[in-house]
Structures are given as C-alpha cells and as structure tokens.
C-alpha cells in the first residue's frame, strides 16, 4: 500500500513507515528516550530527503513529548522554573539553528552537516553508553555508596544566581541558558529533541536530581521542537505532516509495547543493546560518507547562486 | 474502447479527404494526469495514424526547470558536494519514442534543429567552467535524469500496424515532475519532417496531497502552526489511550 508524501514528493510504502514508527516507538518505550536520533537517520536511509526528515521529525517529537510529559507532570516530576529557563535558551538556539540550516541548504552542504553531526553525536553517545553499561554489569553486585547531592565546580561561581526549589539548586541562570541554546541548535539541525544531550547535561553539569530530569527535559523539548517545526515549515518548507502523522500512529502503538517489554528486561543489558544499535546506525552513516559514490555528480534543485 | 477509437481512426484515414493525405493524426488516451494519494506512476496511451508512408517520432517534453549539478569531491576521505554548475530552463522531463532506429531515417541535422534525442537537447550552462568540463556536467545531468526515469529514448517503442496505425504507452514514473507537458509528433519521410502535431498534457497533484503542498508553500506560517496543533492533539490523544489500559 503506497502513499504519496506531498512535501517529500515521493511515494512510500505505508506499512514500512508504520513499522518504522512502531519499531522506534518500542525502543523509546523500553529505554525512555525520544527516538529522534534513531528515526531521522532511518528515514534518510529509506530515501526521504535529509532536510524533510529533520523538519518532519521535529514535528513528531512535539507529539511524543506532549504525551510523555503528562505522566511526569502527574507525579510532580517537572521543574517548570528550570524548564522555562532552558526553553528560553532552546528557543533562541533552535531559531539560530533553523537559520543556519537555511544557510547550509543554500550552500548545498546541509546533508553533509546533518550526517557529520550524527556521526559525532551517535558515536560519542553510543560509545559512552556501551562503556557505562559494561561497567554497570561488572559492578552490579557491589553495594552503592551514598552520593553527595551534587558536585560543586567552577560553574557555580557564575553570576545571576537563581533558586530552583524543585531541583534543590541555587545556581547561575547562564549555565541552563547556554545548555538550552546548544541543545536548541542541535534540535533544529539534527531533527532530534536533544534529550540524549540534555539529560546528561542536567545531571552532570547542573547537578539536578535524577527524578525531575526526564520530565523537565520533555517539558522544554515540547517548546523547542514546536519552535523548530514552525520555523522549518515557514522558512524551509520541509515539514511533511502526512509523514509525521504516519510516524505518530506507529510511535503511539510502539510506546505501549515498549513500556511493557521494558519492565521485564534488565537495565544494564538493555542499555548495552541500545548502545550497540546507536553505534550500528553511526557506522552505516560513516560508511556512506566514506565509500566512493556510484555517480560523482548529483542533481540539486537549481536557482542557486 | 481504445480498439474502437483505433478502428474509428483507421476508417477515418481510409475515407479521409485528400487535404489530410500528408498529415499525421494523433491523440492521447487522456490529457490530464492526476497525482493523488495512491499515485505510483502511470501510463498514457498515445495512438494515431499516418497516411501509409514514413516513420513516426514522438517527443514528450515536460515543464522547464532550473537544475544545479554538483560534483562530489573527496576532502580528507569524506565525499563533499562541490560548487554547483547551474543549468537554466531545461526540460524537467524528456522522452523520445519512435517507430524504429532513428539512425536509419532521421538525419542528424534534422534532429539537431528540432531537438529530437537527448544528445541534441539544448542544455547550456553559464557557469565559468571550461568547455570539456561543461560537457562532463551536461553528461552527468542527462545520466542522473535517465536514472530517475525523467529522460529517455526508446526506439521501436511505437508499434506501426499496416504501415498506418501507431500506438504506444507513455510511462510516467511516481516522481514525475508536475506541470504542462508538450507532446510533439513528427511524421518523417525521405529524411524530412513532413507533418508535425503538438498536443498539451497536464500533470498535476489533486486532492489532499495538492492542498497540503499548496498550503505548505503559500501559507507556510499557518501550515507550521497547524502541524504543531496536530502534534499536540496527537500527543494528548496517545496519552489518553495509554492511561485507559
């Protein structure tokens, strides 16, 4: 069963796209990750133009974050004050990111930049996760020591301090703002929510309690990806709602399967598995960048400069 | 129905007045191709009749477009897109169908003058590249267009019956460019074009697909907002479904 995607301007097999949505949705259910960093490269592998994959994925992440944040909100695990500071940075960052995206698109280099960003981030994160899960498997039996609430470092000496009650923090707003900007840029260029960068940054840089990290991250992702969706649609016309809806349906089904499967599996092994998957996708992108193309010449819509 | 039409045409030619004796008569099974949700490419039947002599060649030319050709360059092991070489006002789609091998009956000068055949297409670039380089980019443009099914030449595709009736399916792939096409039919006798007939063919998106595309390009901000609203509603809906179980 084929469906013509109006913005991507090609026909896709509906079942393949639904299957992809279910597959990545299941993974996000199991691992509690957004899944954008897997979905966008997979869409590109299927032949969706990279620019359209990025714009559309931002749109889909709005939906999955709305769905995800509600559960955390009910349990009181969202720090709205911290989330707001992060999202101010995020909106600035994603606006700049879409502008950069446009510039790179005009230069004909956007596909390369998207791919290289994925190589760097998937490679780093996959590698770190793999090491962490192997270490966790090794020390699974040794008892955990009580940790300090958070470590103090030079970042706590910055001005414009603000109190974040829910996160039990009194820190400079500059740091969360900067993190927001950085993740916002990534979000716009890579078509991801950025949770995979935001969550570690919140834990290790800001020192937020783990309980509120995911909820707060999801809260700000809604606004940052909504901003990215709006700007990508307005300036680049790369948001395909038909594709987004197909992916959404699959993701909703997948998330339910994933949560059930996830509760029956062991954490370290799961993370190890996810790490291998992330590295596999990264490897495929590297391979595509390095092999000699079949045809050295490619076509691009003209009218360029 | 098509057989009936063909029969009608054959009767028409048999009893045709002498004024039409030199001509070629041709028509398409439809002059509008709609790209709808389930579109995976289509075929249009082209059929017609000659006066019993000569060979027929048909050129199907799509709307004009501007295209950039980039050569990938290896920088530090990674393949990077090089500077674009722009080709302006080139046909987005170009197909040549003929009754038999053009080399046997259509002189090169005639082909050149009428742009019959991919190699005679007027594809010029104003980019500052040397002539041999320009030729390479031009060849790459044609090669890429052929690979996606937009350019082609099939000799012998037109089936000639009794030396008079000819017919062929014209294939348009799923990724066919939209716009107004021109279908030109030439009747060639003794190395000269003796009759030409030109017909328009419109290919366009219709239905929801077309509406989505139009709104996305003409009312981009509104489209962006709608996309966000849909996503938020879908998120809320998904969460509600999830809670009930």
The answer to whether A279 and A141 have CB atoms below 8 angstroms apart is: no
What's the CATH number where B58 sits?
A: 2.60.40.1930
Residue B223 has pLDDT above 70, yes or no: yes
- Region A33-62 average pLDDT: 89
Q: Are residues B131 and B141 in the same domain?
A: yes
Per-residue pLDDT, averaged over B147-159, amounts to: 91
Establish if B33 touches chain A: CB-CB under 8 angstroms. no
Q: Are residues B218 and B195 in the same domain?
A: no
Q: Rounded mean pLDDT of B93-122?
A: 91
A85: left (phi over 0), alpha (psi -120 to 50) or beta: alpha
- Which tens digit of pLDDT belongs to each residue from A120-132? 988 998 888 888 8
Distance from CA of A32 to the nearest CA of B (A): 15
The tens digit of pLDDT for each residue in A56-110 reads: 999 999 988 888 888 888 888 889 999 999 999 999 999 999 999 999 988 888 8
- Indicate whether B20 pLDDT > 50: no
How many domains does the structure of chain B reveal? 2
ipTM of the complex, rounded to two decimals: 0.84
Q: Chain B closest CA to A142's CA: distance in Å? A: 37
Residue written as token pair 């479904």? B241
Cβ atoms B57, B103 nearer than 8 A: no
CB-nearest partner of B66 from A241, A296, A302: A302
B225 and B114 in a common domain: no
Distances (CA, A) of A242 to A62, A110, A265, B28: 15, 23, 34, 33
pLDDT at B235 over 50: yes
Domain identity same for B77 and B165: yes
Choice between B242 and B194, residue whose per-residue pLDDT is larger: B194
Q: Residue range A183-207: average pLDDT? A: 86
Confidence bin at B16 (pLDDT 50/70/90): very low
Interface contact A75, partner B, CB < 8 A: no
> Do both B60 and B158 map to the same domain?
yes
For residue B1, the model assigns a pLDDT of 53
Question: Is B189 in CB contact (< 8 Å) with chain A?
Answer: no
CB distance B209–A4 less than 8 Å? Answer: yes
B115 and B9 together in one domain:
yes
Residues B151, B244, single domain; the answer is no
Answer whether residue B136 shows pLDDT above 80: yes
Say which of B81, B241, B242 has its CB closest to residue A109: B81
pLDDT band at residue A271 using 50, 70 and 90 as cut-offs: confident
CA–CA separation, A129 vs A140, rounded Å?
16
Quote the pLDDT of residue B14: 47
With CA atoms as reference, the chain B residue closest to A57 would be B231
Q: Determine the structural domain holding residue B231 and report its residue range.
A: 207-245
| Whole-number average pLDDT of chain A | 84
- Which pLDDT band, with edges at 50, 70 and 90, does B5 fall under? low
Yes or no: say if B197 and B184 are a contact pair by the CB < 8 Å rule: yes
Averaged confidence pLDDT in chain B: 87
User: Which residues of chain A does B66 touch, with a Cβ-Cβ cutoff of 8 Å?
Assistant: 301-303
pLDDT digits (tens, 9 = 90+) for A139-186: 765 555 555 555 556 666 677 778 887 777 788 888 899 999 999 999
Mean per-residue pLDDT, A186-197: 87
Average pLDDT, stretch A253-257? 82
Q: What is the DSSP string of B231-243?
A: HHHHHHHHHHHHH
Q: Does B80 touch chain A (CB under 8 A)?
A: yes
How high is the pLDDT of residue B8? Answer: 53
Asked whether the predicted pLDDT for residue B245 surpasses 60, the reply is no
pTM for the model: 0.80
Mean pLDDT over B223-228 rounds to 95
Tokens of A70: 């509600």
pLDDT at A229: 94
Whether residue B37 is found in the same domain as residue B99: yes
More confident residue, B13 or B225: B225
Are both B8 and B39 inside the same structural domain?
Answer: yes
Do B40 and B69 sit in the same domain of this protein?
yes
In this complex, do B231 and A231 lie within 8 Å of one another by their Cβ atoms? no
Same domain, B41 and B27: yes
Please say whether the beta carbons of B41 and B172 come within 8 A. yes
Cα torsion B58, B59, B60, B64 to 10°: value is -170
pLDDT band at A300 (very low <50, low <70, confident <90, very high): confident
pLDDT at residue number A304: 41
- Kindly state whether residues B167 and B234 are assigned to the same domain: no
């Amino acid at each position: 069963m084929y469906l013509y995607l109006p913005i991507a301007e090609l026909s896709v097999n509906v079942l393949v796209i639904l299957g992809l949505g279910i597959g990545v949705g299941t993974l996000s259910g199991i691992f509690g990750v957004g899944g954008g960093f897997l979905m966008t490269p997979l869409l590109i592998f299927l032949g969706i133009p990279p620019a359209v994959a990025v714009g559309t994925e931002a749109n889909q992440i709005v939906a999955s974050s709305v769905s995800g944040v509600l559960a955390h909100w009910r349990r009181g695990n969202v720090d709205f004050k911290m989330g707001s500071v992060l999202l101010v940075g995020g909106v600035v960052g994603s606006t700049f990111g879409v502008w950069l995206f446009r510039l790179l698109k005009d230069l004909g280099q956007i596909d390369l930049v998207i791919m290289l960003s994925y190589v760097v981030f998937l490679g780093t994160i996959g590698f770190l996760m793999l090491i962490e899960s192997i270490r966790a498997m090794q020390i699974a039996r040794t008892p955990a020591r009580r940790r300090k609430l958070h470590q103090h470092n030079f970042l706590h000496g910055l001005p414009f301090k603000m109190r974040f009650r829910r996160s039990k923090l009194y820190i400079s707003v500059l740091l969360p703002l900067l993190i927001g900007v950085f993740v916002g840029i990534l979000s716009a260029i890579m078509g991801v929510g950025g949770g995979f960068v935001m969550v570690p940054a919140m834990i290790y840089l800001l020192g937020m309690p783990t309980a509120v990290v995911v909820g707060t991250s999801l809260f700000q992702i809604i606004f940052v990806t909504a901003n990215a969706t709006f700007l990508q649609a307005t300036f680049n016309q790369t948001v395909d709602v038909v594709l987004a809806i197909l992916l959404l349906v699959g993701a909703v089904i997948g998330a339910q399967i994933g949560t059930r499967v996830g509760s029956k599996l062991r954490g370290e092994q799961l993370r190890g598995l996810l790490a291998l998957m992330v590295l596999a996708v990264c490897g495929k992108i590297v391979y595509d960048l390095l092999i000699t193309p079949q045809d050295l010449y490619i076509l691009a819509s003209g009218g360029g400069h | 129905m098509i057989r009936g039409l063909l029969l009608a045409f054959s009767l028409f030619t048999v009893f045709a007045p002498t004024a039409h004796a030199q001509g070629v008569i041709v028509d398409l099974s439809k002059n509008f191709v709609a790209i709808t949700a389930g579109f995976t490419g289509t075929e249009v039947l082209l059929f017609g009749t000659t006066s019993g002599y000569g060979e027929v060649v048909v050129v199907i030319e799509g709307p004009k477009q501007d295209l950039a050709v980039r050569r990938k360059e290896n920088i530090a092991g990674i393949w990077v897109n090089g500077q674009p070489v722009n080709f302006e006002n080139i046909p987005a789609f170009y197909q040549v169908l003929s009754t038999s091998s053009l080399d046997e009956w259509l002189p090169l000068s005639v082909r050149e003058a009428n742009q019959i055949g991919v190699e005679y297409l007027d594809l010029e670039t104003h980019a500052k590249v040397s002539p041999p380089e320009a030729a390479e980019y031009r060849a790459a443009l044609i090669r890429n267009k052929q690979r996606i099914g937009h350019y082609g030449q099939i000799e012998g595709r037109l089936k000639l019956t009794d030396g008079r009736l000819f017919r062929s399916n014209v294939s348009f792939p799923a990724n066919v460019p939209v716009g107004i096409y021109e279908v030109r039919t030439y009747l060639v006798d003794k190395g000269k074009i003796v009759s030409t007939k030109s017909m328009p063919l419109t290919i366009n998106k219709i239905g929801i697909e077309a509406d989505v595309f139009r709104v996305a390009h003409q009312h981009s901000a509104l489209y962006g907002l709608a996309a966000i609203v849909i996503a938020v509603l879908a998120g809320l809906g998904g969460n509600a479904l999830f809670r009930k179980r």
